[in-house]
Amino acid sequence: MMKMDNTTSPQAIFWFRQDLRLKDNPGLNAATQAGMVLPIYIDETPEAGQEAMGGASRVWVHHSLSSLNKSLGGNLSLYRGRAETIIKKLCETYTIKQVFWNRCYEPWRKTRDTHLKKQLTERSITATSFNGSLLWEPWTIRKPDDTPYRVFTPFYQKGCLNAPPPRIPVTALKTITLFKDTRHSIELDALGFLPGHRWQEKIITQWTISEAGAHKQLAYFMKNSLAHYKKGRDLPAKPWVSRLSPYLHFGEISVHQVWYAALAQGLMAEPFCRELGWREFSYHLLYSNPNLRTKNLQPKFDDFPWRDDPDDLAAWQQGLTGIPMVDAGMHELWATGYMHNRVRMIVGSFLVKNLRLDWRHGERWFWDCLVDADLANNSASWQWIAGCGADAAPYFRVFNPVTQAQKFDPDGVYIHTHLPELANLAPPYLFAPWDAPPQILQAAGVMLGTTYPHPIIDLKKSREEALAAFAEIKTAAP
């Protein structure tokens, strides 16, 4: 139950960040034990620089904050600017002596949080942070020689599974007394998270963006999809993935809640828990490699001969490559703010290996378009598919988008869903329209170059050129 008391001053600040929930929120629980709480959220765009949220993430956060504010009885105070300046001002205004938050792991936030703690401590203000986002803190999982892991399997099996188990989710307090800062707080719309065009309207119809929505999605996945997950997670036309990634990133649900909900299902949960382990591994890599977003983990790729072709990049971004499985994935991304993981690998491989465009172009596009854009996961995944990361898919492993479609979307349901212009073209020609006889295309109402593009690149030739480029840097490597 939420209680509001603006007749006195708050005793503590709780700073919401990537933990937009009330349940299993260790920082919020600790703050409520200190007394009346001033709950705040700060749009940190001015100091985030290149790591400021992308467009889809901003849409997500707008709606999540709206829901959170309702859960808090309208008592969430909102600000925009430098966190250090805002928090210090609030502490001075209301004579607050305790500030609480849950940790974030982006390098710029780590540096800023350390500095903020120091500044608050110098002012006799206690600043306390908690783990609200990860099963295991990145610095706690180490190899026997105390160095970070570089390969997932030993990280997960020897590191995570042999470490103390993740904490049990904490119980939400029944009563919280809240304070609303009516002097300085701004309105949600004033944060400017929503774009000026209607692109976001379709995205939000795909999701229930709230803590309740996260738990509804978890319950659906556990009941209907977990049993199919091991094999079904590779089938993009099937509803057999969790679709929990944006909720986990922005914290409408905690990974601890998801982990223990899965474990309660018995042995069939193992493949899904392993995927949660990949999420942990990405954060492990980011913690040990702060430049993960921009710097190849394998230095030999610093000399890789990437192509520079803005037209090909634009065709990939817009889903106009003429390769149906690739274009379907890019259309799904634009329409929903999400892309099935198998398809992410296919479109990623096409960008960096067939088009031979720098993986950082893909990372930036996904960062702007994904509602689950996460610095650790996005960066590590793009380095993995490019072959330049830790435990990466070898560069010579090139996902053929035609055979991938044949294997994982054999009836063409996924492609038809996202490329209605090919709705009357059936497999097998759906996967490679350029091989279809003219009469088949005509009967399906498909005119290559008019209603659907010609392929922008030859798959076989581009694969050979990519492997030749890789052979050059492999030979040149010391």
Cβ neighbour number for residue 392 with a 10 Å cutoff: 19
Instruction: State phi, psi for 191 to the nearest 5 degrees.
Output: -70, -20
Q: Write the DSSP assignment of 211-226 as a string of letters.
A: HHHHHHHHHHIIIIIG
Q: Give the whole-angstrom CA distance, residue 64 versus residue 48.
A: 20
* Bond from prior residue into 428 cis (ω within 30 degrees of 0): yes
- The yes-or-no answer on residue 240 being catalytic is no
Catalytic residue among 341, 421, 434, 465: 341
> Token digits for 158?
């020897």
- Work out the angle between the directed axes of helices 324-336 and 341-349 (0-180°, nearest 10): 120
The single-letter code of the amino acid at 290 is P
Q: Does residue 382 have an active-site annotation?
A: yes
Cα(94)–Cα(92) distance, integer angstroms? 6
Round to the nearest angstrom and report the end-to-end CA distance of the chain. Answer: 64
Nearest-angstrom CA–CA distance, 88 and 90 = 5
**Residue (of 102, 128, 137) closest to 286 by Cα position:** 137
378, 382, 384, 400: the active-site residue: 382
Residue 241 · residue 339 · CB < 8 Å = no
Short-list 242, 238, 433, 419, CA closest to 329: 419
What does the alpha-carbon distance between residue 345 and residue 385 come to, in Å, rounded to a whole number? 7
Closest alpha carbon to 163 in 125, 137, 129, 196 = 137
CB 45 within 8 A of CB 82: no
Catalytic residue among 51, 84, 137, 275: 275
**The token pair that represents 46 in the structure block:** 């001015």
| Cβ(358)–Cβ(306) below 8 Å | yes
Q: How far apart are CA 38 and CA 93, in angstroms?
A: 12
400 is catalytic: no
Place of tokens 């492997």: 467
What CA–CA distance (Å, rounded) separates 443 from 163?
60
Pairing of β 2-4 and β 176-178: parallel
In order, the DSSP letters of 25-45 are: -HHHHHHHHTSSEEEEEEE-H
Question: Is 278 designated active site?
Answer: yes
Distance CA 22, CA 26 (A): 9
Specify whether the backbone of 432 is left (phi greater than 0), alpha (psi in -120 to 50) or beta: beta
Catalytic positions are: 275, 278, 306, 341, 359, 382
